[in-house]
Amino acid sequence: MVTQESPFKTRHFSTCSVVGNGGILKGSGCGEEIDASEFVFRCNTAPLDNIYWEDVGKRTNFITMNPGMVSYRYARKRKAMKEGRDKFLRDLSVYADSYLFIEAFLYELNAKRAFLAHEVLRESHAKNTVIFPHPDFVRSTHSYWQERGVKAPRASTGLLVVTVATQMCEEVRLYGFWPFHSDRNNTRLTEHYYDNALPSNSHKITDEFKELQRLHNTGVIRLTTHACQ
């Protein structure tokens, strides 16, 4: 189903994990710590195969999906999506009955892709609740971070989710947010924990990381940039 107002309007959580997709998660052993939070956010339908569980955990309460992934992974047109529905539902099933957050309203093409995904979920009686964030919220979030020094056309999905989490959670713990290709011990890292695909040029991830460090240093969030005990 799709909700017409925030399902979190009167709900708050003591501890939340926000899981980015950075290569620093590979070999981190952070999975158990991530899953120990009351609520777990994940970004961009990143893979959750069991080979990753030790490092990234396996619980999900809130997952984002980029509308572009609908056409990239499954289908470009409505008719073709019907043929790709089984793969779509199978991929989404690893996140159980989590909330599915899709930015739908900033661009017309995004809206078509997002509504197509929602239609497939509705027709399949999936248990996921779809959240289409209000465009004013998305625009105001982008504007806020631009004013803070993130000089990019728009904030990344990861930064958007961190913003959401700070409004819902007493303690926000971040994992997998690291924009560099080597860790603190100068060990080479892949771009993501699951592949080495290049990031989008529309984001300024290093600017975003500086802001996350500032929030960490002021106690607003806890930014994990090392292996977990």
Which residues are part of the catalytic machinery?
Answer: 203
Lookup: tokens for 117: 């995904």
**143, 145, 148, 150 alpha-carbon torsion, rounded to 10°:** -110
**Dist CA 145 CA 221 (whole Å):** 16
Cβ proximity of 193 and 19 under 8 Å = no
Lookup: tokens for 16: 């939340």
Lookup: tokens for 143: 């504007």
Q: How far apart are the first and last CA of the chain?
A: 39
Exposed e or buried b per residue across 121-141, where buried means at least 16 C-beta atoms within 10 angstroms of its C-beta: beeeebebbbbbbeeeebeeb
* Sign of the CA dihedral with 119 first, then 59, 223, and 216 last: positive
**Dist CA 177 CA 88 (whole Å):** 26
